């Protein structure tokens, strides 16, 4: 059984999920969320009938704070943390990761994300593409899926794939959108990752932001169109040498128009902005064009 744990990030429903999977050898978690929501994670694990100390295996899709920020707490309780090899050094020493995040979030850093501490390397299991991890009666396969981040893994369990951010952000009745924060956005790699997932013919996608998608073809098609729309909107602003501060207000309006035009209720806009702040994608897309045109 798979339990979706709503972490109620920023006291909002359906912004960040963690997934608890029951196995014959105890509970497994996919994603931890940030440490700021650890109390909600703990409650969710207990609601599923377990204690947080029973979790001995944690699978991370990538090391961004909204997905991995509480991993250190689970590792401190004895869990093994499975992650991309490129993320290993940052989880063993998160000082650069936290310094970069603090420059972005400044005085909101602690309230948004909470603490992040070093993980003993003995508790970190860097996982190669295609590698399988068996826990009791469940087997998880690592699918390296760069594009959103170079250190991204989608975890496959039978016909289910836990997609992290590679399958985008889709909340309630709204459309899917591409989270494009700096520094790793590469739309060509991202589309290749989606082609890889298509090839697995999954029955269900579990999105960290947020919930279940059962028909992947139209979902991926829409996501790829949105990637192109966002990038093409940004290109003339990049060519004109505009700064992020100059671009952001218009880009936020552009994203809101596409969300509402794609079927999102305006009341759900705060959920999308909490899960995937549109202003974050400005720097990511500018960086994408800078690399692409270098």
Per-residue pLDDT of the chain (294 residues), as tens digits, is 999 999 999 999 999 999 999 999 999 999 999 999 999 999 999 999 999 999 999 999 999 999 999 999 999 999 999 999 999 999 999 988 888 888 878 778 777 898 999 999 999 999 999 999 999 999 999 999 999 999 999 999 999 999 999 999 999 889 999 999 999 999 999 999 999 999 999 999 999 999 999 999 999 999 999 999 999 999 999 999 999 999 999 999 999 999 988 778 888 899 999 999 999 999 999 999 999 998
Q: How many CB atoms lie within 10 A of CB 108?
A: 10
Smallest CA-to-CA distance from 234 within 187, 170, 164, 172 is with 187
Residue 38 CA, chain-centre distance (Å), reads 17
Q: What is the DSSP letter of 33?
A: -
Peptide bond into 158 cis (omega under 30): no
Smallest CA-to-CA distance from 199 within 123, 251, 283, 143 is with 143
Enumerate domains of the chain plus CATH numbers. 2-221 (3.60.15.10)
Q: CA 181 to CA 209: how far, in whole Å?
A: 15
The tokens 């073809």 sit on which residue?
217
pLDDT of residue 187: 98
pTM, full prediction: 0.96
For 67-91, letters b (16+ CB in 10 Å) and e give: bbbbbbbbbeeebbbbbbebbbebb
């Amino acid at each position: 059984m798979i339990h979706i744990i709503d972490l109620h990030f920023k006291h909002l429903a359906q912004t960040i999920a963690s997934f608890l999977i029951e196995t014959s050898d105890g509970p497994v978690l996919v994603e931890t969320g940030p440490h700021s929501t650890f109390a909600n994670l703990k409650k969710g694990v207990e609601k599923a009938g377990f204690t947080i100390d029973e979790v001995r295996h944690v699978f991370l899709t990538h090391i961004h704070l909204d997905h991995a920020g509480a991993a250190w707490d689970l590792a401190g309780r004895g869990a093994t943390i499975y992650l991309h090899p490129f993320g290993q050094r940052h989880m063993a020493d998160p000082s650069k990761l936290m310094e970069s995040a603090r420059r972005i979030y400044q005085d909101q850093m602690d309230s948004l994300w909470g603490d992040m501490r070093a993980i003993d390397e003995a508790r970190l299991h860097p996982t190669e593409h295609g590698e399988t991890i068996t826990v009791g009666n469940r087997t998880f396969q690592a699918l390296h899926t760069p594009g959103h981040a170079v250190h991204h893994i989608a975890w496959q369990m039978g016909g289910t794939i836990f997609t992290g951010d590679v399958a985008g952000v889709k909340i309630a009745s709204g459309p899917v959108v591409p989270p494009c924060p700096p520094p790793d956005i590469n739309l060509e790699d991202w589309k290749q990752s989606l082609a890889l997932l298509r090839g697995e013919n999954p029955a269900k996608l579990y999105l960290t932001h947020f919930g279940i998608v059962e028909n992947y073809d139209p979902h991926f098609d829409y996501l790829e169109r949105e990637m192109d729309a966002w990038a093409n909107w940004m290109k003339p602003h990049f060519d004109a040498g505009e700064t992020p501060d100059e671009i952001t207000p218009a880009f936020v309006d552009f994203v809101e128009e596409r969300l509402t035009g794609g079927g999102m209720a305006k009341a759900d806009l705060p959920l999308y902005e909490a899960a995937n702040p549109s202003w974050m994608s400005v720097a990511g897309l500018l960086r994408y064009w800078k690399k692409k045109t270098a």
